Amino acid sequence: GDSGTTVVREIEWSVSRTGKITPVAIIEPIELSGAMVSRCSLHNLAIVAGLGISAGASVLAMRRGGVIPHIESVITPSATPLVIPDTCPSCGGPTRELGDFLSCAAPLACPDAIRGTLEHFVKAVEIDGFGPKVMAQLLGKALITEPADLYTLRALELVQLERMGDVLARKLVANVEARRVMSLATFLRALGIDEIGKTVASVLTEHFHTLEGLRAAG
């Protein structure tokens, strides 16, 4: 069926591109709607507190509409209380609570947030060839730290990466070059600002027409 009982192995804290730290329940694998599920996002601190969930709890897991797995309720609470991290699991810096959300206090210097921002950018702008492995190496060698750095990459730098020959390096530089010019709506979406998805980016573009017009808005 689309629901079943299982046990929470641990609560993992995942850092997004905006620095938001989301709790994820790692559960004993269970089959829901024909798929094996071992992770359920818990979304925010309010949901975690409302469920009273922590490692060792037995829970009712569901797949809403047969798609997204979530924890419906706690059946037997755990004797071990949940500890909300006061340091970021990615950079080790302090965390802060903002309403229902936990966040890294310095996302601009946080590796997971930086990686997420870059991955979001290449996907939104549709630059091919910069998958997780290439991105991890570029960050590890400090060749890029923000999306703008993609546009200054040279083939000579890219050939330092594992399994990166001269032909592929030149192809990646060409892929970036081909996406140097983009529509305003694409650019706004690529920035990864909270709440600016495809629809909002289109609405803003229709209203303000140019980046200058948008930046001058109150």
pLDDT of the chain, 218 residues: tens digit per residue: 789 999 999 999 999 999 999 999 999 999 998 999 999 999 999 999 999 999 999 999 999 877 889 999 999 999 999 999 999 999 999 999 999 999 999 999 999 999 999 999 999 999 999 999 999 999 999 999 999 999 999 999 999 999 999 999 999 999 999 999 999 999 999 998 888 999 999 999 999 999 999 999 98
Query: Quick one: pLDDT at residue 174?
Result: 98
Cα–Cα dist 23/12, whole Å: 6
Query: Quick one: pLDDT at residue 64?
Result: 81
Q: Where are the beta strands (DSSP E) in the chain?
A: 3-15, 20-32, 35-41, 58-64, 68-76, 95-98, 101-104
Cα–Cα dist 168/128, whole Å: 11
DSSP symbol at 146: S
Query: Quick one: pLDDT at residue 124?
Result: 96
Q: What six digits make up the tokens of 60?
A: 């009712």
Query: Quick one: pLDDT at residue 50?
Result: 94
pTM: 0.83
Query: Quick one: pLDDT at residue 117?
Result: 94
Query: Quick one: pLDDT at residue 30?
Result: 96
